[in-house]
Amino acid sequence: MSKVSLLDCTLRDGGFVNEWNFGHGNMINLLERSVSAGIDYIEVGFIDAREEFDINRSITPDTDGINRLYSGVDKGNSKLIAMIDYGTVPIERVCRAQDSVLDGIRVMIKKKTRYEALEYCRALQEKGYLVFAQPVSITGYADDEMEELTERVSESGFFAMSIVDTYGLLDRSKLLHYFEIMDRVLDKDVMIGYHAHNNFQLAYANSISLIEEVSDRRALLIDGSAFGMGKSAGNCPLELLTMYANEHLKKDYDTNQVLEMIDTCIRNIFALSPWGYQMQYYLCASNDCHPKYSQYLMQKKTLSVKSINDILKMIDPKERLVFNEKHIEELYLKYQRNDINDSGSIETLKKELAGKTILITGPGKSIVAKREEIRAYTEKNDPVIISINTVFDDYGADYIFITNSKRYMQISGSIGELCKKGMKVIATSNVTPARDRFDLPVDYSSLIDEKSSIPDNSLPMLLRLLCRAEVKRIALAGFDGYLSEAKVNYYNEDMEYDFAHNYALQLNRYTADMIKELRGQGMEIEFVTESKYEEG
């Protein structure tokens, strides 16, 4: 008979998707259906003393909260488990097992506090709980470190120890390698678990590989969640595990009950906040790093996927598994720098723009809404038009100023056609031309402000460049300034920066202050369309 058991982590790991706000009715529904499905272990949520009790959330400050959520529920033959991230719950907030609906507690063990976490696990064991040691980010352990930790777990006689692939980095061979270390060192009565994430689309395949490799020689616990609901790329789908176990392990799980979990609750959550395999999770997994690194770079919307991949490879090994925003921003700026001598380009701009009024066109909604006013301005003043990172068919452009590699790749074909008609390309040195060379390459580093929240905001960069080119008269159209609401700042929603609404006030103030400073130095700057930069 197979020694494989299944654990449903929907209410715990799935909670990362919706901040554990399932609603109490849904929580009871998910638990009861998991019990009816015959799932061996059901993780009913997180315990975290930093949280306040909420009847609708599967995260509570103590075990009393767990009792309030689930007391009276028929557990059937299932065992109920909760998780604690070591360091977030004083042991006094955990009641004795005999006074709890819980049968066991899983403890997240971080490498830097692993020894203290093991002491905490022993205290839980003394309270009567089945204790599951969960060393997270297992790929951060060298073999000798993992062997030592496993020895300590074995000596403590805990119920189980898991291979926790926090960022979905393991393939079959790496997974089996960690299993062999645990299997060799752990007492045979200690169950080995596997908690997968789907960054490489391997959660299910790895789970099956481990089951087939282990066969009947050791008790094995495989985690899954309904529809794979979970953090980042999600978990192994529980419905696939029950189907496999029934067909190959002679189990009798009721897969229909898991499907009912999905139909009655999980699909609605997925429609609002989808999880699963995504490019950003693939990138972080392929570079053995925290998923926030790729998310941070993708949100800038200035980089190609290749460039993001290149930057992720530059992350200091010591910083890979714990997100360090300062470190990744430094790497971003370092990557963007391609210092060049742009004195020739500056001299050309001085000659070509001397005595001219410059109209800079931007991507705010007013660039469309105020079309007639902008046309009237161009007819009256005959300005040299410089467009930033895009071209508007209504106005044309004498120059396009490119600072954004991603945007450039999206419009490079159109730029080529316009260049045949006389438009020139001014491009910062972080952008690589699709063919030949840019007309006027300029140095990226000399135009950014590293002290700013957004160092490479394109309008301030162009204003600095025009200042270097000794331009005296500038008009701005389509620079509306930022609103804090998402998806309202650009005439084309696809151009929205994810970070913009978070920094709206800072961006407005920074640009307004810069314009005020330039005016103080003698530059004439007027707004053809209304702007929050003028209000500043």
Query: In degrees, to the nearest 5, what angle opens at C-alpha 303 toward C-alphas 296 and 197?
Result: 45
Q: Phi first, then psi: what are they for 165, rounded to 5°?
A: -90, 75
CB contact set of 224 (below 8 Å; sequence gap of 6+):
6, 7, 8, 9, 207, 235, 236, 237, 238, 240, 241
Pairwise CA distance, residues 489 & 498, whole Å: 11
Pairwise CA distance, residues 117 & 153, whole Å: 11
Q: Phi first, then psi: what are they for 442, rounded to 5°?
A: -130, 155
pLDDT of residue 411: 80
- The distance from CA 88 to its chain's CA centroid, rounded to whole angstroms, is 23
Pairwise CA distance, residues 527 & 470, whole Å: 19
Half-sphere exposure of 485 (CA within 13 A, CB side): 5
Pairwise CA distance, residues 535 & 289, whole Å: 43
| Residue 4: count of CB within 10 angstroms of its CB | 23
What would the DSSP string read from start to end of 24-91?
HHHHHHHHHHHHHTT-SEEEEEEE-TTSPP-TTBSEESSHHHHHHHHTT---TT-EEEEEEETTSS-G
Bridging pattern class, strands 130-135 and 524-527: unpaired
What element of type H or E holds 181?
Answer: helix 172-185
pLDDT of residue 110: 95
Bridge partners, 170 (sequence order): none
Q: Which two tokens stand for residue 71?
A: 């007391």
Q: Which two tokens stand for residue 29?
A: 């529904």
**pLDDT tens column, 78-132:** 999 999 999 999 999 999 999 999 999 999 999 999 999 999 999 999 999 999 9
Is CATH 3.20.20.70 the classification given to domain 4-272? yes
Which stretches in the chain have pLDDT values below 50? Answer: 1, 491-492, 494-496, 499, 536
287 contacts 313 by C-beta, under 8 angstroms: yes
User: Which CATH number applies to 343-535?
Assistant: 3.90.1480.10
CA-based end-to-end distance of the chain: 74
pLDDT of residue 1: 45
Which residue, among 118, 96, 107, 95, has the nearest Cα to 12 in the 3D structure? 107
Pairwise CA distance, residues 179 & 170, whole Å: 12
CB contact set of 212 (below 8 Å; sequence gap of 6+):
none
Pairwise CA distance, residues 173 & 179, whole Å: 10
Give how far Cα 428 sits from Cα of 291, 331, 399, 454, 507, Å.
Answer: 29, 18, 13, 16, 21
**4-272 and 343-535 share one fold:** no
Half-sphere exposure of 65 (CA within 13 A, CB side): 24
pLDDT of residue 485: 59
Q: Which two tokens stand for residue 93?
A: 């907030």
pLDDT of residue 496: 47
Amino acid at position 434, single letter? A
pLDDT of residue 495: 47
42 contacts 8 by C-beta, under 8 angstroms: yes
- Tell me 431's DSSP state: S
| Residue 535: count of CB within 10 angstroms of its CB | 9
Pairwise CA distance, residues 30 & 404, whole Å: 46
Using the structure block, give the residue that is written with the tokens 């993992």: 146
What are the extents of the domains in the chain? 4-272, 279-336, 343-535
422: left (phi over 0), alpha (psi -120 to 50) or beta: left
